[in-house]
Amino acid sequence: MKNYFDLSGKVALVTGASSGLGVQFAKALAEQGADIAICARRVEKLETVKSEIEALGVKCFTHKCDVLNVDEIRGMVKAVEEHYGKIDILVNNAGVGDATGAADLTDETWRNVLGTNLDAVFYVAREVGNVMLKNGYGKIINIGSLHSEVVMPMNTWPVPAYAAAKGGVKMLTKALAVEWARKGITVNAIGPAYFGSEMTNDILESGGFDSVAQAYCPMGRAGKEGELNGALLYFASDASSYTTGQILFVDGGWTAM
Ligand code: NDP
């Protein structure tokens, strides 16, 4: 039976793969046969993830990178290209959460959230995009959010900086998709609702999340580990050869109402 999601012979770079969804994404791509490159700031965590990925029978290259530093991004992408000779798949995943209300939001927090969640998504896409343009092939998957489309309901928690950045990711995805559509590169985004991770565990375990999910999420719950993999593998593989500029919300129906 044909495996539409086979990634044998491909090289995938996942940013922010020292914890959370990035680790899950890197492993899901490895399970389909892709060789992996991972980056983040915490190198000791990257080394643990590298061993777990290599145990799946593929190669894994690690590189320390702070995505708030454009020179580090350039160096990281160059190192991955030198190591593997190409980059076929980019998962633009590194990000930070923030739930500070607008009136209390400092310039520093605003810049950190926008810098990590939007500026860096562009810088990494630009650098990797130039590698993909040379090869005439690429699959870029930006990690947006439920908050690329909607904010949290009143009387829950505010997300002005986070939503501004993730909304920007949605439109950046469309802009890059159109620009590179005839160059062999697809650019799509995933918009997850809430999934357990270092970023969200406090919210999910606070007790308040369950009642919000009951009221606003048709499925009435957070996402579970593995429930993003179908969307990821669709966008990462040639199964999505005629799909570009899309954001797929994996949100239990949240954005449907
Ligand atoms: P985690 O906090 O577990 O992971 C965030 C990752 O981003 C870490 O690997 C971290 O690595 C990396 N990172 C953060 N800042 C930087 C930086 N300056 N330079 C390099 N790497 C950085 O959170 P999640 O796994 O939940 O988040 C992953 C992505 O998914 C984010 O873009 C987030 O917005 C998005 N998302 C998550 C949802 C969820 O419910 N969990 C829902 C919707 C979207 P390190 O600290 O080692 O540098």
* % of residues, the chain, pLDDT over 70: 100
Q: What's the 117 CA to ligand 1 centre distance in angstroms?
A: 9
Contact (Cβ atoms closer than 8 angstroms) between residue 53 and residue 47: no
How do residues 26-73 score in pLDDT, each as one tens digit?
Answer: 999 999 999 999 999 999 999 999 999 999 999 999 999 999 999 999
Residue with CA closest to ligand 1 atom 6? 16
State the residue range of the domain holding 83: 11-248
Output the CA torsion 68→143→129→121 (10° steps): -20
Distance CA 172, CA 208 (A): 32
Of 225, 113, 214, 224, whose CA–CA distance to 160 is shortest?
Answer: 113
Q: Is residue 254 part of a domain?
A: no
Domain membership of residue 132 (yes or no) is yes
In degrees and rounded to multiples of 5, residue 47 shows phi and psi of: -65, -35
For residue 46, the ligand 1 atom closest to its alpha carbon is 47
How many domains does the chain fold into? 1
Query: From atom 15 of ligand 1, which residue's Cα is the shortest distance away?
Result: 95
Closest C-alpha to ligand 1, atom 31: 95
Q: What CATH code is carried by the domain that includes residue 78? A: 3.40.50.720
Query: Is 153 a member of any domain?
Result: yes
pLDDT at 206: 86
**Contacts of 244 by beta carbon, 8 Å cutoff, 6+ apart:** 177, 181, 186, 187, 188
User: Rounded to whole angstroms, how far apart are CA atoms 160 and 143?
Assistant: 18
**CA triple 177-249-27, angle to 5 deg:** 85
Task: Give domain status of residue 182, yes or no.
Answer: yes
Residue 108's SS3 state is helix
Mean pLDDT over residues 74-102, rounded? 98
| Interval between CA 111 and ligand 1 midpoint (Å) | 16
Amino acid, single-letter form, for residue 127: E
**Secondary structure E strands in the chain:** 11-15, 35-40, 60-64, 89-92, 138-143, 185-192, 247-250
Which protein residue has the closest C-alpha to ligand 1 atom 10? 16
Mutate to test the pocket of ligand 1, among 23, 48, 93, 209 (most ligand atoms within 8 A of CB): 93
The span from the CA of 58 to the CA of 13, in Å, is 13
Average pLDDT over residues 118-142: 99
Using a pLDDT cut of 90, give the percent of the chain over it.
98
- 200-228 pLDDT, tens digit per residue, is 999 999 888 999 999 999 999 999 999 99
Taking the centre of ligand 1 as the mean of its atom positions, its distance from the CA of residue 9, in whole angstroms, is 27
Pocket of ligand 1 (CB under 6 A): 16-22, 40-42, 45, 65-68, 93-96, 116, 143, 145, 192, 194-195, 197-200
In a domain? residue 41:
yes
Which residues, in sequence order, are bridge partners of residue 64?
40
Residue 240 belongs to a domain: yes
Ligand 1 atom 2, closest CA: 199
Query: Best mutation site among 13, 14, 18 for ligand 1, i.e. most ligand atoms within 8 A of its Cβ?
Result: 18
Of residues 162, 194, 216, 234, which has the active-site annotation?
162
Sign of torsion over alpha carbons 49, 52, 54, 57:
negative
Residue-level pLDDT at 1 = 86
Is residue 242 flagged as an active site residue?
Answer: no
Residue 6 lies in a domain: no
Residue 108 inside a domain? The answer is yes
Instruction: Identify which of 83, 77, 92 has the alpha carbon closest to the alpha carbon of residue 176.
Output: 92
